[in-house]
Amino acid sequence: VRGGFIHVPWMTEQAERHAPDKGMPLETMVHGLRLAIACALRTDEDLRVAGGATH
C-alpha cells in the first residue's frame, strides 16, 4: 500500500490569525496537490528511502 503526507501552509486568510506564520492562496495549494496526485498516478515504482523529521 502506498501512502504519503503533504504538509500545506495556512490559507492566506488563516495566516492573518497565526502571525508570524505565512500563508498561501487556496488556489495555489489545490494546483500543487493536483500536480502531486497526477505524478503519483503516473509513477509505478517508488524509491525506498526514509525521510522527514521529528520535532
Domain that holds residue 33: 10-41
In this predicted structure, the answer to whether residue 55 has a pLDDT above a threshold of 70 is: no
Total domain count for the chain? 1
Q: How confident is the model at residue 46 (pLDDT cuts 50, 70, 90)?
A: confident
Asked if the structure places residue 22 within a domain, the reply is yes
The grid coordinates listed for 3 are 501512502
Mean pLDDT of all residues belonging to the chain: 89
> Does residue 55 lie in a domain region?
no
Report, as an integer, the average pLDDT of 19-47: 92
Q: Which residues of 24-34 are buried (b: 16+ CB within 10 A; e: fewer)?
A: eeeeebeeeee
**Residue 1 located in a structural domain:** no
